[in-house]
Structure 1
């Protein structure tokens, strides 16, 4: 397999972001952090990624200042991972990917009666669908504004993983 080009010094912003976000494991870990999973075991279980891969990507996200690592137990040492402001700013990227997938990534009828994840705007209670602006109150949607309600199929998948 050919070596991947290093885009960390390009002036192209898409190339620069792809250097970090072009990794499936990073995206899945970020998704879990956005859903409040902060502990290694929960992230590994829900993503289905191997522990070495989760560990390596969490270390990368710490180095890139996307997450911070905080101890929650001294003996044995245990840590949780929290999004920084830089990490929270990635919400729009993952939300846009989710919205694209809800429209284009499933075969007709695959999702049943609705999206895999239904989002409710915390401020006004509106179902936002795949909108970036709340259809109920007109507010731009940002990190922390939405409450997720998984479909029965997604909930069953998560429970099967033990997440």
Structure 2
């Protein structure tokens, strides 16, 4: 980590202006999980460059944008995702459970999925097939991702 990631982070901070760095951090936090890439190093840059408050606001905005992309992409492929979930009922149990119940039940399920070790990047695409509405999906994501964001900013 000291030989690979830290030099890259220092290079980014020295090379780019603050507004450009904000755009890069926002874009990478929003797009990387969509492409199944880790975005935590970008969260580190946000914390080191913009501080805890502004870094958190930048990251939470990017997360909101970033989890919306796969949700709407997933809606285009709803039937294919549904077919995969039907073929693998044991693996899809948690995802299906998230779409059941009231708005608040869906919110709770999304929060639990976000804070669990379940690979939530996959859930971004599968949430549409589980019939989770966009409101509880987005709010549950923001609440469930808050601990991870704080850990990334403070580390």
Whether TM exceeds 0.5 here: the answer is: no
Q: Normalised by the size of structure 1, how large is the TM-score?
A: 0.29
Q: Normalised by the size of structure 2, how large is the TM-score?
A: 0.30
